[in-house]
Amino acid sequence: MTIHGIWQWAANHSQTVEIDALRNKTLSIDGHIWLYECHKGGQRYNQTGASYLVTFFRRCRFLMERNIRPIVVFDAVNRPPQPGSFAFSERKNLNWHDLTNSSNLADRVFKCQAMLRHLGVTVIIAKGEGEAQCAELEMEGITDGCITTDFDYFIFGGRNLYKIQFNTNGVKSIMHCSMDNLEANTKIYRNGLIAMAILLGCDFYDSGVENCGIVTALDVLTEFHGREADHHPLQILDRFASYVRGEVPERSEDSERKLRLKRREYGFDRTFPNTDEILMALKIYENPNTYTFSKDTFTSPPCTDLRRVERILVHECGWTAEKMKQELEISEKRSKKFHEATIQKKIPDFFKMSKRTNSLVEQCSVDEYLKSNNNWFQQRKRRSDVSPSSSTTPQSSRTRTPKISKISSSHKSSDDSIEIIEILDSD
């Protein structure tokens, strides 16, 4: 499901964001993670039936209300014999993360696919790993990231992961983990993460390396990865194993951390890391089996048909038409409230506008200008005479008498002769 213990480290390089930060983004969704969460929630609250369909319906509606376009991606499963039907038979006896045979994974995937497409949500059933397909969508510029809790998304080439914790009111918290931040803060790149996956244990090499936790794995990358280039993961692991086995001699400049790594017992044999299992895991991570799409493929979502969505929820979840109506009304109210809150108010929203009949600036003659200017200086002089500081500071009591001086010749106008003047302060 993810690399063992990786989130303890990754959380230190992540940040909490608000739901508004995702507005106008297109995000892929790891559908199998949601199915797993629904299964665990059903066990906890003794829920039966197709309650997972309600979860997918509500979560996708919540995202769409906030102008977030979801693209749900599922892992590869067998195709249904009758596309378009939502009454599926048993097809694939597959246990996945404690999903029992009675709750067949393939049936759940295809029921979700049928409902989500009528809800206007794009659904992709991947060739292989769903996280790999999500990463491919972001690398092609189709999406802006992925909603998942599986760190493998980064190992497959993804750049932006959103770990969303949903609750009954919508979203409780959103953690954004960016590959750009990881690279800038830790100098660990994709190949380094693949090497960490082998050391710690992952979906394709579950055992990992004995006595190797997140701290030891980071020490291995620090000593054997190098900061100059993103070396191949097999090269990193081979350097580490060769040094531990004594095939590479110790040097005087070896750090205490490097020597400490050599003294530990890891339990791998002389074939490590060149085993078939590890080589297969590296191949899956480096060259996953995915579909290649163009941006034009997803220019518009599928057409919405809420009546068919209602039919599916009534048939599978025991909903009624009245229940569906209530859900849609709540959704519309939330959407309206959200859009009203995001519209920035302007000054006219707070003050009434009135049409001005008179101009703010009126033309005046030179005589009127001089008279107004002299009045201003007289008022200034009176204020300075009555100022308290005038009795204590002799220099401040000196008044500066304005003097008018001509500095240019007259310019004729249609009204009268206007002279350009300046006000000079006399000493």
In sequence order, what are the beta bridge partners of 422? 405
Burial of 53 (0-12, 13-18, 19+ CB in 10 A): buried
Convert the pLDDT of each residue in 106-165 to its tens digit.
999 999 999 999 999 999 999 999 999 999 999 999 999 999 999 999 999 999 999 999
Burial of 368 (0-12, 13-18, 19+ CB in 10 A): exposed
Tokens linked to 127: 């060739």
Question: For residue 193, how many other CB atoms are within 10 A of its CB?
Answer: 24
Provide the 8-state DSSP code for 384: H
Convert the pLDDT of each residue in 54-68 to its tens digit.
999 999 999 999 999
Q: What does 211-263 look like in DSSP terms, one character per residue? A: T--HHHHHHHHHHHT-SSS---HHHHHHHHHHHHTTSS---TT--HHHHHHHH
Asked if 53 and 112 touch (Cβ cutoff 8 Å), the reply is: yes
Domain 6-187+289-341 belongs to what topology? Answer: Rossmann fold (3.40.50)
Q: What ranges do the domains of the chain cover?
A: 6-187+289-341, 190-286
pLDDT in tens, the chain (427 residues): 678 889 989 999 999 999 999 999 999 999 999 999 988 877 776 676 689 999 999 999 999 999 999 999 999 986 444 443 333 333 233 334 445 443 488 999 999 999 999 999 999 999 999 999 999 999 999 999 999 999 999 999 999 999 999 988 889 999 999 999 999 999 999 999 999 999 999 999 999 999 999 999 999 999 998 766 779 999 999 999 999 999 999 999 999 999 999 999 999 889 999 999 999 999 999 999 999 999 888 888 889 999 999 999 999 999 999 999 999 999 988 888 877 766 655 666 666 666 666 666 667 777 887 888 888 888 888 888 776 554 444 544 455 555 444 444 444 444 444 444 444 444 4
At a CB cut-off of 8 Å and minimum separation 6, what does 297 contact?
142
Tell me the chain's radius of gyration from C-alpha atoms.
36
Asked if 23 and 144 touch (Cβ cutoff 8 Å), the reply is: no
Q: Say which residue the tokens 């060739």 belong to.
A: 127
d(CA 95, CA 345): 53
